[in-house]
Structure formats: C-alpha cells, structure tokens
Chains A and B, each alone.
Chain A
C-alpha cells in the first residue's frame, strides 16, 4: 500500500492551491515523483527529514548548480534514492515566453521527476529530483535550449532583481539590464566556487525593496534619486478633492517631517533638504508624486541570515552611484571586495562577519572609500579609538 498517504491527503483540502495535488499529478506518470510522495508521507509520520546530507555530483566543468541529494531509506524508495536538484538561472525579472517554459518542461519530463520550484528563494527555477546519470544529458539539453545553471555552494549565487523599468514607474535604474549584465560578466564566479562562503547580489529599483535585497544580499543595490521628488500639484488636488485625507495618511506619516499641506493654497509643500526618499508619499499618491529624475542607487553591503554570528541588514557603503552600462564602477568594487574577502576571510565567514571582525573602518581603508556620515546612524560613544 505504498500509495497510501493519509497525512498528505489532508493537505489537499482547503482553498489554497495544493502542492500535494501537484506531486500526485506527476506520481501518476513518473516513478520518482511517486517515491517523492512516499518519502514526504514518511516524514509527516516520523516528523524528521528523510534526506541525507550532501553528496558530490555535478556537471562537467562546474562546481555549482547541482545539489546532490540522497534518500536515507533508499530500499523503500528506490526511484528517488538519488534525487538531485538542478538550479536553473532564471531570466532577469522572472519573465518567460511560454515557448521557453514549455521547452524547460519537456526537458524535465525527459530527465527528471517533473517536479519544480517556481522559484527557489535565491531566484533560480528549481528542477527538483533527478539521478546522477541524468545530470549531464539534462544540462546539455538545457544549454541547447538556452538555459544555464545558477550558483550554489561557496560561489556567487544567481543574481536577482525586481521587475524594474519593465513594469514599474518607480525604478531609478534598469534593474533587469544590470542583473543580466552582471550575471553574464561573472559566469565564472557563479559556476566555480572558490570563496570562503556564498556571496549574494540583489538589486531593487527603489527603496520599497521588493526583492528584499537589504536583508538577503551581501552586495545590495537599491535604487534612489539624488534630486527632489516630482510633485504634480493638480494631481495632488485631485486626490484631496476626492476625499483623500492627505494630512493623516501622507503628511503626518512622513518620517522626516518634510511635507506640509497648505490648506489655503491647496498645495503640498516639500522641504527638499529634509526628505529621506522613503517612498511613502509616492506609494500612496501614485498619480501625483514621483521619484526625482536623477536616478541611481545606494550600494549597501553585508546582509545575511543568522548563521554564523547572527543576522545582519546591509550597511550603507556608497550613498549614491549612477548605475549605467558598462557598470564598471560596480564591477571594480565587487572584484576589490572579493579579493579582500578571499585574502582575509575564514572558512564559512560571510563578508559582514569579516567586516565586523576587522572593522568597517579598516574595510573602507582597504576599499579606498572615504568615510561619510551617511554610513552610520550615529558616531561612536566610546573612547577606545585606534589612531
């Protein structure tokens, strides 16, 4: 009765689309998917994972892109005994033609379990579960169809960015173009791990940060503007005339008190020097307020999850940079950071942990970046200073 999955069946109930339904769909025609279902049911019964640690597998010439995975009860589930992941580098912005997606499906029908993650947290299209023998032919078919693998291990991970100028009026630079350009430039760093640990780059077009770059990237690029907000006073009056409570919902919520609603003259006044470009007024009055025209980005560094020394949000490194092809300034800075991290980092030490150990002050010196007040919330309170 290996098809009996009483616990998982519970997850077919309820209004949200069910992944169990998806595995069952594949299980009807794919043996590996059928065993995957069995393994998941067993985990639900035992309340532990049934996947073993690691396993070195890959495709010729790469050290990245394939995650080796073996089941710890292979005798029960021979068709998913080896069940490796292939990370497929997604097109920037996660746009696809159906033609290319169907091609991806056909390849995965031939070589894998037919199960996928669209997408993984890093951004890749994840092909979930294949055998060691199928890795190379699957990879060959993928590249034939125009798809390459993404990063894994102690390498540059697949770069991700928000939808940007493709469909957003707030993007202060072309995130898709930058992501694609950096991805092509750093193919070697993505596919051949040679660093102390992983390194992530993410790009958001504005301070709303839709791809959570500040929390998830060692190198964070967040669009901003150098000049002032563009305010269309007629459009503002339209909002107010239609009953929008501009005082409570916008002016009072401005974090730096840079806005004032002049009731008499029906005008939204901006103290431009006080504006911290947080996006709130723009978010709430999409037709009336826009970012400035002098677009670029703030570069921040060091964002990461807890392991090993605790979680960090990225720190401001370059308050403003123009982001234009050929992106030499960013590329030079990245190479400089990597060389320094390579030279000084310990095994599994993320960039932020190394900077904390050695000091931001010393890091700036190594990078040749002069200190500016935008880098800190406040200067130090202690007198223990190295001169």
Chain B
C-alpha cells in the first residue's frame, strides 16, 4: 500500500546546524563580495553564503556534483534560491574560497548578489511545453552569456531582475521584472473542426476568449467554432482549453520585451513591466537581436541612473519619451494600450518632456 499526502520533507530536517542554532536570531548581514554574503547572529555566530549560478535545467549528475561540494564544505547541506541559484552555507570563513574554486571547476560562477544581475527566472519553452511561443533555456543561456559580467560583479546602480516567459501564461513574475522577455504568437488559432468535435467543450472554448472572438460555427452541421480574426489577439487561452486550436507558427511567433517592473516595496511601490519592443522574431540558437536590445538597455541604464535607482524608477524620473530616445527603440501604435484599463495609461497632464 503506497502512501499519499505525506507532504514535503520537513524543512527542519534540511537545515545546517549553524542555521538551526541561529534561526530567528540574525542581526545583520554584509555583501562581502559578489556571490558572498556574511550573516551575523545576535549570538555572535557568523555564517558565510556562497551563491553560484546554475543553468536551472540540470542533470542528476550535476546535482551530485554540487552535493560533493556541500559534503566537503557545508556539513552536507545546500539550498536553492527563488531564482534557481545554488547557495552553499558555511560557518567557517576559510571554506569560502574552496567553495568558490570547486564551483568554478564545475563552470559555476559565484555572483548574483547585490547590485548586479542575478540568475534569470524562466519557464520551460521548447524543452517541455506545449504552448511555448519561444524557447526559454536557450534564450536565457544566450542572455546570461552576455550579462555575465553583471552576475559576477555588483557595479550596477541597483539590482536588475530579468525574467523570461515562453508564452503569456507567464509561469513566473515576468510582468513585474526590470527586464522581461515574453514569447508571443501573432497569428490566430487554426481550428481543426474534427478535433474540436472530439476533444473540446464548445461553450468553455467560447467563454475562454477575453475578446469574444470565438463563435459557434454558423453551419449547424459543423459542431465546431470559428474565430473572428480581427478580434483575436493571440493569447492562446482557447488553445489551453481546446487542443484543436493550435496557433504556434514559425514565422508568426517570437518575443516581446518589457522593462521597468519591480516587486519590492523599497522606495517606490511595486510596478508592472511595460512593453518597449512589441515583436522580435525567434532567431535560435542565440537570439542575437533580443540579446542586443537587452544589453543596450542595461548599459544605458547603468550610465544614466542614480545610485540605488531601479530601472523602473530611473525611467519614471527621466520619462518614457527620453527612454525611447536614449535606447533608439522606435515608438509605434502597438505601444499604446487598447486592452483592459488602457485609459489609465493615457497622459492627462501637460507635463512631459521632449
């Protein structure tokens, strides 16, 4: 008889001793260098954390490799961060360099702390998802190769969070990231009438469309739906409830770029990322056009923002008009919102810049 509903392992069984002994007693921390944190407890204890990057999609042998490091230096414990970095925690300062060196031997750089670019949170893409409009793992690899120096240093005005979602389902906080790449479709679904009949519930399919573009097929002999293409904005919600309406297309699919979002409440409240590039084609394996735009935005931000100013705060200060001028990204009619709550983004003041 198998067991069910046992729940996850109890985290208390997973904590290193130094963490257990100082749990809830932490007093302050320091950023020792990129990738190294020092936490000091009320008890006077110190722990050092070495944070290293990871490709996220990893083999079990990779996991065994990092376990070897943790066994040697960290009392047989390690943790992952919410951005898929790996953290080795030790109460022995002299272990820090050893951990960094052994991780480097595996090709894993120390970094991702402080005012830099941490690992990219991303989704599955072509490696495993049925609704992906772009890849994720490869796109992320291409971006991080180019952002590497910002991962291993803390030289930016503030930290920059990058996220990649392979479709607008957005399985991650893409919509509130400093830089976000989002896979998008640009062609309406192709309805397969025979499959609709076999696989889909028609009322649910009709209701799934946010713009009311899906209707019953007017021919009563065809138990299927039709799509009003002028109303469709390619969200793929219908495809999720009805597999007979695929819309993936090599030419139509690609990515959009969003900037300036944040989730932290520090200084300004959390903000949404805003679209700056409506579409770039998928150009595997390196997505050079996408990477170039992101790199350019980061460099202009780095040169223009004030200390501790997040990308969204910087843009609010200089104004979107100046952002588009500095980055030389063309402003098009697609930048003007025409979906829910669009009017909230229309300017209602004479205050603007040239």
Q: Please list the residues of chain A having a beta carbon within 8 angstroms of any beta carbon in chain B.
A: 7-8, 10-11, 13-23, 25-26, 33, 36, 40, 43-44, 46-54, 60-62, 69, 83, 85, 89-102, 104-105, 108-109, 114-123, 128-129, 136, 139-140, 143-144, 146-148, 150, 160, 162-163, 165-169, 171, 174, 176, 180, 183-184, 187-188, 191, 207-216, 222, 248-249, 253, 255, 277-280, 283-284, 286-287, 290, 305-311, 313, 346-348
Q: Is the CB of B171 within 8 A of A122?
A: yes
Known contacts A15-B148, A44-B135, A49-B129: A23-B59 contact under CB 8 Å: yes
Q: Is the CB of A43 within 8 A of B135?
A: yes
Known contacts A16-B145, A117-B56: A54-B29 contact under CB 8 Å: no
Known contacts A18-B141, A94-B80, A118-B63: A167-B19 contact under CB 8 Å: yes
Q: Is the CB of A163 within 8 A of B176?
A: no
> In the complex the two chains form, what is the Cα distance from A347 to B206 in whole Å?
11
One of B93-101, B224-232, B281-289, B327-335 at the interface: B281-289
- Which residues from chain A contact B67 at a C-beta distance below 8 Å? 98, 101-102
Known contacts A53-B239, A91-B14, A98-B71: A311-B6 contact under CB 8 Å: no
What are 13 A-B pairs with beta-carbon distances under 8 A? A26-B59, A48-B249, A119-B80, A119-B84, A121-B122, A168-B39, A169-B27, A209-B270, A253-B267, A280-B267, A286-B28, A290-B28, A305-B168
Known contacts A97-B14, A118-B84, A184-B7: A25-B53 contact under CB 8 Å: no
Indicate the size class of the contact surface on chain B: 35 or more
Chain B interface, DSSP helix/strand/loop, else mixed: loop
Q: Is the CB of A116 within 8 A of B4?
A: no
> In the complex the two chains form, what is the Cα distance from A98 to B172 in whole Å?
27
Known contacts A40-B126, A163-B79, A348-B237: A148-B5 contact under CB 8 Å: yes
> In the complex the two chains form, what is the Cα distance from A15 to B168 in whole Å?
29
Top 3 closest pairs, chain A to chain B, by CB: A14-B145, A305-B170, A53-B243
One of B214-222, B258-266, B292-300 at the interface: B258-266
Q: Is the CB of A147 within 8 A of B286?
A: no
Known contacts A7-B285, A97-B76, A146-B9: A22-B57 contact under CB 8 Å: yes
Known contacts A19-B55, A283-B266, A305-B175: A49-B208 contact under CB 8 Å: no
Q: Is the CB of B6 within 8 A of A148?
A: yes
- Which residues from chain A contact B34 at a C-beta distance below 8 Å? none
- Which residues from chain B contact A167 at a C-beta distance below 8 Å? 19, 26, 39, 47, 49, 89
Cβ-based interface call for B204 (8 A): yes
Q: A91-B10, A96-B78, A305-B168 are in contact. List 18 more A-B contacts (CB 8 A).
A: A16-B144, A16-B145, A47-B253, A48-B249, A49-B125, A54-B130, A93-B11, A95-B77, A114-B60, A117-B124, A143-B3, A148-B8, A166-B23, A167-B19, A180-B7, A180-B8, A310-B339, A311-B272
Mark B128-157 against chain A: 1 for CB-CB distance below 8 A, else 0: 111110010110011011001001000000
Checking B8, B19, B77, B125 against A90 with a beta-carbon cut-off of 8 angstroms, the contacting residue is: B8
Cβ-based interface call for B341 (8 A): yes
> In the complex the two chains form, what is the Cα distance from A60 to B5 in whole Å?
11
Cβ-based interface call for B250 (8 A): yes
Q: Is the CB of B126 within 8 A of A50?
A: yes
Checking A109, A121, A277, A286 against B121 with a beta-carbon cut-off of 8 angstroms, the contacting residue is: A121
Q: Is the CB of B126 within 8 A of A83?
A: no
Q: Is the CB of A44 within 8 A of B285?
A: yes
Mark B48-79 against chain A: 1 for CB-CB distance below 8 A, else 0: 01000111111111111001001100001111
Checking B24, B60, B282, B285 against A174 with a beta-carbon cut-off of 8 angstroms, the contacting residue is: B24
Q: Is the CB of A48 within 8 A of B89?
A: no
Q: Is the CB of A22 within 8 A of B55?
A: yes
- Which residues from chain B contact A117 at a C-beta distance below 8 Å? 56-58, 84, 124
